[in-house]
Amino acid sequence: MILLGNCTFFFQGASLLAPQGVSADTVYPDIPLSHAEQFPFSDIFTIPAGVSDAAQGDISCGVISCVSVPAEAPLPPFWQAIPVRQALSAFSGSLTEETGPADTLSPVSRLLRAFHIAQWRRESLFCGSCGAKNTDASAANGGGHPAEVARLCPACGRMEFPRIAPAVITLITNDEGKTLLAHNRKFAPGVYSLIAGFVEAGENLEAAAARETREETGIEIGDIRYIASQPWPFPHSLMIGFSARYTAGTIRPDGVEIEDAQWFSRDNLPLLPGPGSVSRYLIGRWLDGTL
Ligand SMILES: [Zn+2]
């Protein structure tokens, strides 16, 4: 376990901000909070770096300070914007470590947690029930401690917590030892990845995996097994990874999201998604024979 203590992130839109000279490969620039003076009108907030016992006010895991800079604000001289996805892919290879109980203390998990909450704060300024301006629940409770990550409506008392939207992603194999990879129209040219999609209200995870596969490629799957998960705050997902076996049907890409889908063998792969994602992790597990 890495104990990092307190840390600070600066965000603008979907990017990390850092002084020039900080490597774009870092997810943990840890810039002094005093630099916030250069970013007027920012949302500056502090949250527990972990989630264990946070509701009871335990912040022994350390705290993350965030400076969420307005999207339209010009960058000061000698600062750079590093897309969070780029920082994440540069940090690759440690997803298995990221899924352990210590994950909320790792650099990647801190980045994902902070980025998720910074976005949610921008979208929770007003009460969704009565429209009054929300306050921070932690400040409203009088303690001023950052343990409770919630908004509180002072008019009607409604509490709001960071929204997390579960999404499933599935590594599908057939009896020939091949895996199903698809090209989504949002992907870069030539890149193929796994079938993924959001869970619908009232649906369990396995049903979502089967439905998404059926909708996007026309095939049926079975033996759906949970493998790993990863926070994916682009904007607010939790990716839940499964393995599954092909059971029936012929591949028919939906032509809407999926432009092409094919069975690929290990020795004949297309371009794959970048490291640092659960899709690449699942494909890596299949490549090394553990799935
Ligand atoms: Zn309200």
How do residues 232-254 score in pLDDT, each as one tens digit?
998 899 999 999 999 999 999 99
- Is residue 63 pLDDT above 60, yes or no? yes
CA of 131 from ligand 1 middle (Å) equals 6
Q: What is the mean pLDDT of residues 179-208?
A: 96
CA of 129 from ligand 1 middle (Å) equals 5
Q: Which residues contact 239 (CB under 8 A, 6 or more apart)?
A: 167, 168, 169, 196, 229, 230, 231, 232, 277, 278, 279
> What's the pLDDT band for 106 if we cut at 50, 70, 90?
confident
CATH of region 165-287:
3.90.79.10
Within the chain, all domains assigned CATH 3.90.79.10 are found at: 165-287
CA of 128 from ligand 1 middle (Å) equals 7
Mean of all residue pLDDT scores within the chain: 87
> What's the pLDDT band for 102 if we cut at 50, 70, 90?
very low
CA angle at 215 for the pair 274 and 186, rounded to the nearest 5°: 35
Cα 114 to Cα 44: distance, rounded to the nearest angstrom: 12
- Is residue 142 pLDDT above 60, yes or no? no
CA of 45 from ligand 1 middle (Å) equals 22
Q: What is the mean pLDDT of residues 205-228?
A: 97
Query: So what's the pLDDT on residue 211?
Result: 98
Q: What is the mean pLDDT of residues 156-171?
A: 96
- Is residue 1 pLDDT above 50, yes or no? no
CA of 58 from ligand 1 middle (Å) equals 28
Contact call for residues 251 and 219 (beta carbons, < 8 A) = yes
